[in-house]
Structure 1
Amino acid sequence: MERDGEILHRAKREWMWRQFFLLEEYTGSDYQYVGKLRSDKDRGDGTARYVLSGEGAGTVFRIDEKSGDLHATQRLDREEKSSYSLQAQAFNRNTGLPLEPATEFVIKIHDINDNAPQFTKAVYTASVPEMSPVGTFVLEVNATDADDATYGNSAKLVYSILQGQPYFSVEPETGIVRIALPNMDRELRRDYQVVIQAKDMAGQMGGLSGTTVVNITLTDVNDSPPRFSYSSYHLSTYESAEIGSTVGRIKANDSDEGDNAEMRYRIVDGDGKDMFDIITDEMTQEGVIIVKKKLDYESKRVYTVKVEVANVHLDPSFTNMGPFTDTAIVRVTAKDVDEPPVFSRNPYVIEVNEDTPKGSLIGTVTAWDPDNTDYPIQYSIDQHTDLDRLFYIDPRNGSIRTLKSLDREVSKWHNISVLASEINNPRQRSRVPVLIKVLDVNDNAPEFAMFYETFVCENVKAGQLIQTISAIDTDEPLIGHKFVFSLSSANPNFTIFDNEDNTARILTRRSGFNRHEMSVYHLPVVISDNDYPIQSSTSTLTIRVCGCDSGGNMRSCSVDALLLSAGLSTGALVAILLCITILLMIVVMFSALKKQRRKDSLILSKEDIRDNIVSYNDEGGGEEDTQAFDIGTLRHPEVIETNKLRRDIIPEMLFPFCRSSPMKECSDVRDFINSKLQENDTDPSAPPYDSLATYAYEGNGSIAESLSSLESSTMEGDHEYDYLTNWGPHFKKLADMYIGKDTTVDI
Structure 2
Amino acid sequence: VSFHMWKSNNKSTKFLLNSCLFLIEATVSQIRYSVPEEMRKNSFVGNVDLGLDLRRLRSGRARIVSGESHQYTELKADKGILVVNERIDREELCGEVTPCSFSFEIILENPIELHRVTVEILDVNDHEPAFKNKMIDLEISESATIGSHFDLESAYDPDSGSNGLQNYILSPNDHFVLKQTSNADGIKFAVMILQKPLDRELNPRVSLKLIAVDGGTPQRSGTVNIEISVLDVNDNAPVFNQSLYKATVVENSPIGTYITTVNASDADSGSHGAVAYSFSNVKGKSTETFEIDSLTGRITVIGNIDYEKDKKYEIRVIAKDKGGLSDASKIIIEVIDINDNPPITNIMSFSSLISEDVPPGTTVAVFNVKDADSERNGQITCSVDSSLPFKVQSSLTDYYNLLSDVPFDRETIPEYNISITVIDSGSPPLSTKAYLQLKISDVNDNAPVFKSQEYSAFIVENNKPGVSIFSISAHDSDWKQNARISYFLEDKDVSGSAISTYVSVNANSGVIHAVHSFDYEQIKQLSFIVKAQDGGTPPLSSNVTIKILIQDQNDNPPQVLYPVQTGGSVVAEMVPRSADVGYLVTKVVAVDVDSGQNAWLSYKLQKATDRALFEVGLQNGEIRTIRQVTDKDAVKQRLTVIVEDNGQPSRSATVIVNVAVADSFPEVLSEFTDSPHDKEYNDTLTFYLVLALAVVSFLFITCLVVIISVKIYRWRQSRILFHSKLPVIPYYPPRYSDTLGTGTLQHVYNYEVCRKTDSRKSGCKFGTAASQNMLIMDPRTLQHVYNYEVCRTTDSRKSDGKFGTAGSQNVLIMDSSSRGTMQRIQSDKNILDQPDSPVEVRLLFYLLFCL
TM-score tier by shorter-chain length is 0.3 to 0.5
